[in-house]
A and B are shown apart, each in its own frame.
Chain A
């Protein structure tokens, strides 16, 4: 057995780090070289000398933070070499441009899952099964109580929720990158045919998706001084940060909902303060994580981003998987 220092990839200062290539994965502080799995802000930080990502991730990032970053891009599956290590991006199905990252060195394969989901999502490439020896996987929803419904079922529930209250303005809160576009795509295939508005931050991302060739329904950018009557019966997509505070005072007679995997638990739904919760996630559920562990054929698995205790114990007991612990 090797010591932690001898692993190709390990935890350093709370971030994933490959010493041999002197490269960091989704670092939370400025470094020389950073591989970026996807364009969510909790996976990105300003001030790195160089970023490396997929083309889509680079475009989304520049749209969000400006052109002032040095970023090198590669296609999915395209291998590049750093210090003798072969590195490649592979679709992770989380959002547009999101990727798993594979490292091959001295015939040893390492795979960082990034954030991923297996569910169908027409707004991004489907998760690709990648074989590996070592798997570093996220486990945000690492308990068997998490079992996602088909996304069209959730979309139909949302559609019903809006149309059942035609006198109200329905505010649906969701992450502005990824979740919003997926929801728009799904909702446009339901019976709901009313107006859809979106907040500026979401509107911007919608346009970006469209430029990258993803079919996203047209939405109206929400202006602060909209007439209340015009909004009756329509859907407005907003980022969760606006759910608390004075922003909601712009509207009258509203119903609110939050779209997130956590909403599958009644207690969390009640505590969230939203009227309604729709359980839809861009992360894998329990079965999804188990499937990836199995199909990747990894002999050694690390978990991060989540409570991995139960998942690890289960894999050791049931599947005799070798679970390694990261020193954080």
Chain B
């Protein structure tokens, strides 16, 4: 009974997760065919060539957490307002409005940003007030704006959920005991919303590690994430073995980042629980 119920999912995991991963591993030890593609071999040369993509890995490992932190900085006040300050009658509408952007294609919305950041958008407004020739599109800044735009809702939601669950009597108690609002925030609210903060940050960081579209469209092919380097290896260089080695490495990076994030989250959760008791 149990076996029958889990069989379809198990089949799926086997054919579309495990098998592709094994294929990647096998390819990663192969060689590039003369016209591109894959030649069977057993060599470590693809992995030895990984430093050739050090910059892309570096960019990703820098911009993913930076992007996530940026999202966090903007998302926290919004989530805080929605959970604790907004008129309860409007709360549902306001929350829905955070989610609604997901219903328009991210590609189309990112294209809109290409226009806003291009010469005919914001830079032309700046020119009108006497700041000519400011370039925004195809810069790391543009990519960060795209990241903030694309991932902000994903950061707001978990923080909102954890703030919303917060027992308001704790805040009253803190105030009754003479704590200033700032002290209450740092002593009570922030620690109690930590699970949401951790979830959001980990989620956004991990999704960003594999980002392709935003750097591609707003970075002009210049700001390269490892996802872009990966696509490039399959679509331009036709170097399947090296691409496979990079894909395998990227998965390892994700696993490492996830493990570290979970360790941190666990420590936070652990100590805070002690504090509360």
Please indicate whether A and B come from the same complex rather than being unrelated chains.
no
